[in-house]
Structure 1
Amino acid sequence: MADVLPLVEARLCTALGEPDARAAITFLGTDRIEVLRFRGEDQEGPLVRYATLGMSAHPMTDPTALVADPVKGPRAELVLSVRQGRADTDKVLRPLAVLAASPQVEGVVVAPGASLDLGEPLWPGAGFTSVLVAEPGGLVEDLELDEPLDPVRFLPLLPMTPNEAAYKRVHGAQALQERWLTHGTDLRDPLRRSVPLD
């Protein structure tokens, strides 16, 4: 069976351009996870995008399944976009690799609407210790693989403050996203404060 990672990297490069930096991190008992850094921009100015490479090498397995299926199951990589130059966001490489390794380490299935909690700031001085997994398809299109493999989905990560994470636990991801939208929150601002939640 073909190695999916070269195909995943090619899809990332097609969507985001060539990476200008990459880091590889290996955790005990897991495969290597790389984090690629891409430069880009939107209407507001320059962006840095970080994408994991390695999470999709194996399908994610339902933690309640008795036997892990080595072929079938959802596959994903994580993508984080932040405004360039406002914070030392390059320190997010290790936390991103930790999140990407969580399906192998903890047996979780990462899907849109889920919260991933690090328990520590995403980068030094960050007001975010967790992320909300958003719907894929906007920035990087799903990568279809040969049957019977599931497609690789590129899941955007939206940093959450502890208050936002608590709100999401009670009211759900949709309610939090509506708050962000109502208040015109720039989710790519690495220095933003929590959205008003009352």
Structure 2
Amino acid sequence: MADVLPLVEARLRSALGEPDARAAVTFLGTDRIEVLRFQEAGIVRYASLGMSAHPMTDPTVVVADPVKGPRAELVLSVRAGLAETDKVLRPLAVLAASPQVEGLVVAPGASLDVGEPLWPGAPFTSVLVAEPGGLVEDLELDEPLDPVRFLPLLPMTPNEAAWKRVHGAQALQEKWLNSGTDLRDPSRKSVPLE
């Protein structure tokens, strides 16, 4: 069976261009997770590389299937030059390692929390996992492997995260849309929640 990660990196490059930086993080008991940085027209994108090497497995399953199961990578987009967003590399790698470390299945609508600001001075400690397919198309793999999905991450303030737990991801996304929220602004304030 072919290694998935070179195919994933090729898909990221074809969608986002050449990365201008990359960093690698290894956590005890996990495979290496890389974070690639892409810059284009005032937007910087950070993409994980390594999360899709193995399928995500439901933690309630007694024996994990080493082949079948959802695969994903994470993509975070922010406006360049407004904050020290390059410090997001480690928190993003932590999120990408969560399926291996915590047995999470990361899917659209989920909240992921790192418990600290995503970068110095960031008003966000968590992200909302959005629907894939807009920025980077799914990568189809040979049967029986599931495709790799590239999941956009939308930073949430603690108030937004709490509101989302009560009202749901769709309701929060509608609040953002109705308020004209710039989700790429690395220092934006919380959307008005009533």
Question: Which TM class, normalised by the smaller chain length?
Answer: over 0.9
1:157 aligns with 2:153: yes
Could you list the runs of 5+ residues in structure 1 that have no partner in the other structure? none
2:110 aligned with 1:128? no
Written as runs of structure 1 = structure 2, the 5 A alignment for 1:27-176 is 27-41=27-41, 46-176=42-172
CA offset digits 1:103-162 (Å, max 9, x no partner): 000000000000001110000000000000000000000000000000000000000000
Alpha-carbon distance in 2 for matches of 1:70, 1:40: 37
TM-score (norm 1): 0.98
Q: TM-score, normalised by structure 2?
A: 1.00
- Alpha-carbon distance in structure 2 between the residues aligned to 1:29 and 1:85: 35
Letter in 2 for 1:16: L
Give percent identity, aligned residues only: 88
Paired residues, number: 194
Alignment-derived partner of residue 10 in structure 2: 10
Distance 1:74 1:40 in 2: 29
- Residue 87 of structure 1 aligns to a residue whose secondary structure is coil
Output one character per residue of 1:29-86: Cα deviation in whole Å (capped at 9) or x when no partner.
0000000000013xxxx00000000000000000111110000000000000000000
What CA distance in whole angstroms lies between the structure 1 residues aligned with 2:59 and 2:181? 34
Whole-angstrom distance in 2 between the partners of 1:7 and 1:159: 27
Cα distance between partner residues in 1 of 2:119 and 2:150: 22
4+ runs deviating over 3 angstroms: none
In 2, Cα distance between the equivalents of 1:40 and 1:185?
21
Give the drift of 1:97. 0.2
Deviation per CA, 1:136-190, whole angstroms, max 9, x where unpaired? Answer: 0000000000000000000000000000000000000000000000000000000
Give the match for residue 20 of structure 1: 20
Q: What is the CA–CA distance in structure 1 between the aligned matches of 2:40 and 2:125, rounded to whole Å?
A: 24
Which whole-Å CA distance do the structure 1 matches of 2:154 and 2:60 have between them? 27
Amino acid at match of 1:34: E
Segments of structure 2 that go 5 or more residues without pairing to the other structure are: none
Q: How large is the Cα RMSD of the aligned pairs?
A: 0.3
CA distance in 2, matches of 1:105, 1:62: 12
Alpha-carbon distance in 2 for matches of 1:27, 1:117 = 17
SS at match of 2:78: strand
Distance in 1 between the 2:92 and 2:80 partners?
17
